[in-house]
Amino acid sequence: MPRDPEEIEMHELEHALRGLTLLGDDTYLGMQAMNIAVVDKFIMPIETDARSWRARDEGIDMAGAMFLNAQSQMWLFSVYELLRTWRERAKNVQKWAANGGLDMKISALEADKGFHHLNRTAFAKVLRRIKTDAASLQAIKDDLARTHVLFGELEFLRVALARHEVSGRPKLMAYAPGYARIDMWTGSMSYELSIGHIVLGEVTRRSIADGLRALTTDRTVPTPESLADFDAFMKLSPEAHPFDPPTENSPKDCIGLGEGSPTASSSS
């Protein structure tokens, strides 16, 4: 069962985000993590009220629900941008380390620009540390893996909310983008993840926040195979019959989820 908002300290979310390798080294990404935690704490009591609205016979406070949905979407956009920025930076560091480009990047960051750029100097210092610390590179790899599924769901949702498209398919209109329902357990806004007639699942704003908070205590690193299964599941063809095994006549990108399918485990 989800915890009551009163039991959740504001610093938990900030601490979890700052705990991601490289993110906590950046003062300004850390500030954004703090902002996200502050707004999360602001939204949760409103969600508690919404849970009561849903339970009452007299119906939902529509004005309150509209405000909650608006706040939830803005929060989700902020979280997406923070994680996108961090993941891009983390992948770049992996690439520079792999191709011998760390020294070149450090030199570029430390080049004289006529003024002291605090952020460039700080990032160069981090890269110098990573050069001599193989454990940091492994931590980056692990953290990218640990956030892969959560970010994948968030990215899918963000494309639907912001662009009214299905993620990865710009010509495919999203189904009811922006529409949300009130989750019965937390009062959080619940959004459907769908491709055409296929509903992949639902995520709530609170499930994203709780998933991030859990990064502090759950250090499990998913296997590459499980992440590949997840990616395949999120890329189902809109023509797919998700609970039937693929046949010889299935479209090439049509992935079924029937018994024996390579992605059957992802549907549980």
Residue 124 maps to a domain: yes
Continuous segment of H or E residues that includes residue 214: none
> Measuring CA to CA, which residue among 207, 143, 198 is closest to residue 180?
207
* Structure-token pair, residue 81: 């941008």
Q: Is the pLDDT of residue 252 over 90?
A: no
- Residue pLDDT, tens place only, 63-96: 999 999 999 999 999 999 999 999 999 999 999 9
Q: Is residue 48 part of a domain?
A: yes
CB 87 within 8 A of CB 147: yes
pLDDT of 267 over the 70 cut: no
- Give the number of C-alpha atoms closer than 13 A to the C-alpha of residue 134, restricted to the C-beta side: 0
Domain-embedded: residue 246: no
In a domain, 232, yes or no: no
For 132-144, what is each residue's pLDDT tens digit?
A: 888 999 999 999 9
Bridge partners of 197, per DSSP, are: none
Residue 104 lies in a domain: yes
Position 214 in a domain:
yes
Query: Where in the sequence is the domain holding 19, given as residue range(s)?
Result: 5-222
In a domain, 240, yes or no: no
Tokens matching residue 17: 């985000």
**Number of structural domains in the chain:** 1
In a domain, 236, yes or no: no
